[in-house]
Amino acid sequence: MMFIIRTTGEAPSAANIAVKLSRKTPAIVTGGEGKTDYFCVAEPDTIEALRGQNVPVVAVHDGYYEDGKGGGVGIWGQGKFWEIRDTPFTVKEAVGATAPATNAPQGDSEQVNVRGAIFGV
């Protein structure tokens, strides 16, 4: 599960937390001046333990978080799935659903010409 630790301190260094990316906290964030966002991955119980220790944990939402260097983090599933990107089009590292759903209906494999279906060409 991905989350952000927003702090003026150093990057988290616990064995059960992996820091995947850091960025300067965006100016639009209230009280974010001089802080750094560390995009971290850990198990949900570790995240709750950090909150209990008053670590500044910020939940992530589906979307794209720019890193200020041309890349960023794409997140969906409320932090369960994510991609670290060097550029908006280049995936450096990813965690996501890779297998088809086991209860997916088995339809025919006919390909559809989407352009023809929509535009008639």
Distance CA 57, CA 3 (A): 7
In which band, very low, low, confident or very high, does the pLDDT at 102 lie, cut at 50, 70 and 90? low
Residue 44 DSSP class: H
Which residue type occupies 8? T
In which band, very low, low, confident or very high, does the pLDDT at 103 lie, cut at 50, 70 and 90? low
Alpha helices in 5-92 (DSSP H): 44-52
Distance CA 74, CA 52 (A): 27
Cβ distance 95 to 82 under 8 Å?
yes
pLDDT of residue 78: 86
* pLDDT tens sequence across 52-96: 999 999 999 999 999 999 999 999 998 999 999 999 889 999 997
Cβ distance 85 to 72 under 8 Å?
yes
